[in-house]
Amino acid sequence: MALLGKQVRQLRSMAHHLEPVISIGKNNITDAVVGEASELLEARELIKGTVQEMSDYTAREAANELADRLNADVVQVIGRKFSLYRRSTRDDVEHIELA
């Protein structure tokens, strides 16, 4: 799903206050990292991640690869941090209402 500019701005604002919950380190993006990110997106819909200095990835590369593998949208990349969004399929989750 391609996000509209207004929706991206809304999600950026929401992501600003989040702490990173995904960390890409020297092992780069493993299946375990993808699985954990998928579970977190199902539970939260919006997550923030960080790329450690020892990783071979830049934050943009990591965000794009994770987004591709998770069928998610990259909301923002700043420095070594990135934010991803994917609407949850669960009914017990409070969904983010996009403008």
Q: What percent of the chain has pLDDT over 70?
A: 99
CATH number of the domain within which 21 lies: 3.30.110.60
- Say if 37 falls within a structural domain: yes
Helix then strand then coil, in percent of the chain rounded to 5, is 35, 20, 40
pLDDT averaged over the chain? 95
- Say if 38 falls within a structural domain: yes
Tell me the one-letter amino acid at 94: E
Question: Domain total for the chain?
Answer: 1
Banded pLDDT at 67 (limits 50, 70, 90): very high
Banded pLDDT at 25 (limits 50, 70, 90): very high
pTM value is 0.94
- Say if 93 falls within a structural domain: no
* pLDDT score of 1 more than 80: no
What is the domain range of residue 61?
Answer: 5-85
Q: Which two tokens stand for residue 43?
A: 């539970």
**Tokens 């929401």 belong to which residue?**
14
- Say if 96 falls within a structural domain: no
- Say if 91 falls within a structural domain: no
- Say if 95 falls within a structural domain: no
